[in-house]
Chains A and B, each alone.
Chain A
């Protein structure tokens, strides 16, 4: 069937959605392409570089698959022209495709930017209520995993390389002998994909006795149990945080690593947008052992060891008159006088418009009690809702472990996940897995688990596969391939289909089948196209109220941590999650939101506890004290400590996901593996660890050495009431004062463009989640530099999140004294595009000048690298390429005489160039910078130019070259899940950014330099409860402009 090339009408943004998968996917050519070319062509992608021959085939296949997101997968080295024009693909123009990222807490709806068939950027799906255009850090970074040159490429049989054919044959043979499947077991990750669920049922139909277990090291196992007990297994619950006036988070980092659905962050933020005095905002109480970005947003924060949170819940239940049933607690915990009382009163006063959240790995009893409390508060139907359960209950890992011990599992199929690395240490999973006759492992990487599997099958990245998912709001989302599998990987659906007795799917058949079933009668082709175009079907089921059938168990909470009994908490890592992102350079180098550490995890510890243990935080250095954390002789690790103000005493937090043994070069030797300490009965924390000061040091790379703002009016804070009384507090006592308006020896030269770009950043809705940092890195081809370079202070991020601890105590960290319980503020910092930019005047070669639309622009090929501009930049946002970060090996390399040395420092002696797949990720519209040039935030000038060109094309001969209002935005602003960053035209008073800049709490930094930044900050506000014992402190700590 011939396709006549019709160019679709172009939107102002230049954004296009792909339309007609159906027409194409059903055609003969399409099937033909796949059968003929796909496996053969793809199988030649083994070698790092794609051979030209196989590439041409893929090209052909891609051409045919154009519009299905497979437009011309381009070899980075040999540029090959399209042999035939493929639908809607204009070289140099981006195409956009809707898909979604599978995640344990629900699929995240995305839109993928592709250039010539290469996915180059991940964005949130603006049409989907869960995303509304925002994304989380992980979604942004998942793109790099797709191109990870160290991703699994080959089939392995008992460590020997094999081919897909070998595998299929032996698989068919093996399946034929499974009988009723009594020896067959599957171990999968949490994923609500209806297609997977359907295949699972079909497999079960074929093998009735087969087992299906699900394991997520950070999963909702306990939460589900508690939920089932409280509300029944038939439903799952979602909360609408936007409806809550008061939120009490019991160690639930719902703004951070515990919940990636952007809708939650956005919902919370929407209640904190204060435009004018008198506006209301919600109130957040947080009880947690360590600082999380959620805790950073708290109006009242109580630092409490995780093992005492249960006791806190009991106290709260008592206060609210909730019958704790048989739940009692060992030991008693001193809570600050009045804290629980007033918090409870505050919750009660909202009559239901409130929410109590608890960490999903707390003991079931505690979580049930919290459910009871929510019930008592009347949150059901107001902030808490139910959705029908879409996934059948599955066995837990412990059930599976028992079965394996009983030798009743002879064939284990592991779909993703990495149990050998992250199963609770008391299972000795490695031995268990070795004891199974046949283990088939589908994995993205050859990792710890593949090493003890008979078959390792390279998994396809979610950007390479057909699947589907259920989003947070219960809507049905599409997962469609944006590019052919780079490394010939299989999806779990492919594998399950084989077990279900079907041929390995050629394309979207499986998903279409599921879709058809959900669709009912409607016109299939049409709605399927719509589905793929939008990336989702709107949620059909409306969330209903939960019916609480409270029956609290009788349980005794273990004795909490205290002096002499130190607890170890295993939080999800803000960057590695459970370890799956360990080989992801972007995430490795993204600073932790709180400690700002990179390339390692550290043992967080409070100043007091550190002092008791004789541990010191390094001053002006990167060498941190090493300690041994031991529960017993087998359960022990050596970790570097990091003193974190605001951390609970007698509590150490060591995040999971680090210290991988079998991992690529990037993740190699990063961090320590906290899973070693973690057992099935201490999934979240364990009390009674022995801490030994090893009197050794370990270098930790962090991007921000200093904790305190030193009283400089950078982040300006007030309470809601203070703002109401004094709406212009941000302008008060600014020191040194700003020059009187208009004072200048000469007028500023005229900026002639109709659009003038600027940005407003609302510090009240920015949590510092890093999504913008990664988005910027992906959009602007920002290189990673490696641990050693970060230690040298050479990280290249154009956009960083400055984190300050604010306290009224006279602590002096230069002397090693840290605030024990400060508040935390975050400030995104990028080039401020000063109208009188100090960097420009000092550049001897005019490499950085001002554009007529008010940008401070960099001409990379003009820059000779004097670094004078960086020295003269008051914000220190300019980044210099000290080495050839894109061309030379990051990290250590082996050389004859010297041994292990930094590859960068060897320079010309090392091999030049980057992995081909990594080249494919680069944004073709942004120069990849060489060594010796300065770079910095450009306000995504490539996007500005794209929009400007589109407008000029539209304008034609007319003079209307003004780019339409808010028709595009910068990468950081687009990624921001809470719209804390707003980019736009400040020449247009109606644009969003102009409106924000007009607010009374808007201010710019370092006014006294008279540099007129184009970036405006909106002051941070807190909403303390005046009755709370720490209300005073909150108020007094609020940092006015001057202090």
Chain B
């Protein structure tokens, strides 16, 4: 085992979303900062319970969308109106021709929004990250099945191996375990 390894944190398992939520509220009130809950599916209200704010991913996507839109505008107008203004079916080459350009502006807006969205997700969640200490915890595999976990990191200033262990036990956490790096 990893006795001499550095401690990453202490994790506990809870039996139901309700208990996990209740525990989360307590940990939050205890003033911990570097901790997280792990669940097989998102639990509504958990953000509040953990004292987390709104995700700002939407802002990133908005910027992506604008970029896409402008790409569409320039991609079409520069060649069609300025570099190679060709007479096509007697249609104008000036801004009057914009109706024909709308579909591609739209599609590019969507495309770059989607890229920004997924890209932003990766950045915010720092995924992909194929190694994480928590995977050393045997029981943790149940997190993608029906396990509800709460883990407080050792890096948290309020962390103390014994007190934290005690706290989690009091909150009704089972299999309270020391997770090593």
Chain A 717-765 interface residues, beta-carbon cutoff 8 Å to B: 745-749, 751
B93 neighbours in A (Cβ, 8 Å)? 749
B side interface size, CB within 8 A: 10
Closest residue of chain A to B79, judged by CB?
A846
Determine whether A554 belongs to the interface, using a CB cutoff of 8 Å to chain B: no
Closest residue of chain A to B100, judged by CB?
A841
A side interface size, CB within 8 A: 19
Instruction: Tell me which of A175-183, A244-252, A453-461, A830-838 binds B.
Output: A830-838
Residue among B90, B91, B92, B96 having the largest count of chain A Cβ atoms under 10 Å: B90
Closest residue of chain A to B88, judged by CB?
A840
Distance of B89 from chain A, by nearest CB (Å): 4
Q: Are B89 and A846 in contact (CB under 8 A)?
A: no
Chain B 83-113 interface residues, beta-carbon cutoff 8 Å to A: 84, 86-93, 96
Q: Are A850 and B86 in contact (CB under 8 A)?
A: yes
Given known A-B contacts A745-B96, A746-B96, A835 and B86 have beta carbons under 8 A apart: no
CA distance A850 to B93 in the complex (A): 13
Q: Are B89 and A841 in contact (CB under 8 A)?
A: yes
CA distance A851 to B91 in the complex (A): 13
Q: Are B96 and A835 in contact (CB under 8 A)?
A: no
A850's partner among B84, B90, B92, B96 (CB-CB below 8 A) is B90
Distance of B91 from chain A, by nearest CB (Å): 6
Distance of A911 from chain B, by nearest CB (Å): 40
Distance of B53 from chain A, by nearest CB (Å): 47
Q: Are B92 and A747 in contact (CB under 8 A)?
A: yes
Q: Are A849 and B86 in contact (CB under 8 A)?
A: yes
Q: Are A836 and B92 in contact (CB under 8 A)?
A: no
Q: Are A749 and B87 in contact (CB under 8 A)?
A: yes
B86 neighbours in A (Cβ, 8 Å)? 846, 849-850
Closest residue of chain B to A837, judged by CB?
B89
CA distance A746 to B89 in the complex (A): 12
Q: Are A749 and B90 in contact (CB under 8 A)?
A: yes
B89's partner among A747, A751, A838, A851 (CB-CB below 8 A) is A838
Question: Contact flags (1/0) for B18-39 with A, using CB distance below 8 Å?
Answer: 0000000000000000000000
CA distance A868 to B92 in the complex (A): 21
Question: Contact flags (1/0) for A72-111 with B, using CB distance below 8 Å?
Answer: 0000000000000000000000000000000000000000
Closest residue of chain B to A1012, judged by CB?
B90
Q: Are A751 and B92 in contact (CB under 8 A)?
A: no
CA distance A748 to B87 in the complex (A): 9
CA distance A974 to B96 in the complex (A): 42
Closest residue of chain B to A751, judged by CB?
B87
CA distance A852 to B85 in the complex (A): 12
CA distance A747 to B96 in the complex (A): 10
Chain B 61-99 interface residues, beta-carbon cutoff 8 Å to A: 84, 86-93, 96
Distance of A40 from chain B, by nearest CB (Å): 56
B96 neighbours in A (Cβ, 8 Å)? 745-746
A836 neighbours in B (Cβ, 8 Å)? 89-90
A850 neighbours in B (Cβ, 8 Å)? 86-90
CA distance A839 to B96 in the complex (A): 20
Closest residue of chain A to B84, judged by CB?
A846
Q: Are B89 and A749 in contact (CB under 8 A)?
A: no
Chain A 953-987 interface residues, beta-carbon cutoff 8 Å to B: none
Closest residue of chain B to A835, judged by CB?
B90
Residue among A749, A837, A840, A850 having the largest count of chain B Cβ atoms under 10 Å: A749
Distance of A748 from chain B, by nearest CB (Å): 5
Closest residue of chain B to A749, judged by CB?
B87
Chain A 812-855 interface residues, beta-carbon cutoff 8 Å to B: 835-841, 846, 849-852
CA distance A839 to B90 in the complex (A): 11
A838 neighbours in B (Cβ, 8 Å)? 89
CA distance A749 to B84 in the complex (A): 14
B91's partner among A839, A841, A846 (CB-CB below 8 A) is A841
CA distance A100 to B116 in the complex (A): 76
Q: Are B88 and A849 in contact (CB under 8 A)?
A: yes
Chain A 540-562 interface residues, beta-carbon cutoff 8 Å to B: none
Q: Are A746 and B92 in contact (CB under 8 A)?
A: yes
CA distance A749 to B93 in the complex (A): 8
A745 neighbours in B (Cβ, 8 Å)? 96
Closest residue of chain A to B92, judged by CB?
A746
B87 neighbours in A (Cβ, 8 Å)? 749, 751, 849-852
Closest residue of chain A to B90, judged by CB?
A836
Distance of A369 from chain B, by nearest CB (Å): 62
Q: Are B88 and A748 in contact (CB under 8 A)?
A: no
Distance of B83 from chain A, by nearest CB (Å): 12
Q: Are A846 and B88 in contact (CB under 8 A)?
A: yes
CA distance A192 to B144 in the complex (A): 103
Chain B 112-164 interface residues, beta-carbon cutoff 8 Å to A: none
Closest residue of chain A to B85, judged by CB?
A749
Question: Contact flags (1/0) for B30-58 with A, using CB distance below 8 Å?
Answer: 00000000000000000000000000000
Closest residue of chain A to B96, judged by CB?
A746
Q: Are B89 and A840 in contact (CB under 8 A)?
A: yes
Chain A 795-820 interface residues, beta-carbon cutoff 8 Å to B: none
CA distance A851 to B89 in the complex (A): 11
Residue among B86, B89, B93 having the largest count of chain A Cβ atoms under 10 Å: B89
A sample of 23 inter-chain contacts (CB < 8 A) reads A745-B96, A748-B90, A749-B87, A749-B91, A835-B90, A836-B90, A837-B89, A837-B90, A838-B89, A840-B88, A841-B88, A841-B89, A841-B91, A846-B86, A846-B88, A849-B86, A849-B87, A850-B86, A850-B87, A850-B88, A850-B90, A852-B87, A1012-B90
B contact residues vs A (CB 8 Å cutoff): 84, 86-93, 96
The 6 residue pairs across chains A and B that have the minimum distance between CB atoms = A841-B89, A850-B87, A836-B90, A840-B89, A746-B92, A748-B90
4 other A-B residue contacts (CB within 8 Å) besides A751-B87, A835-B90: A747-B92, A840-B89, A841-B88, A841-B91
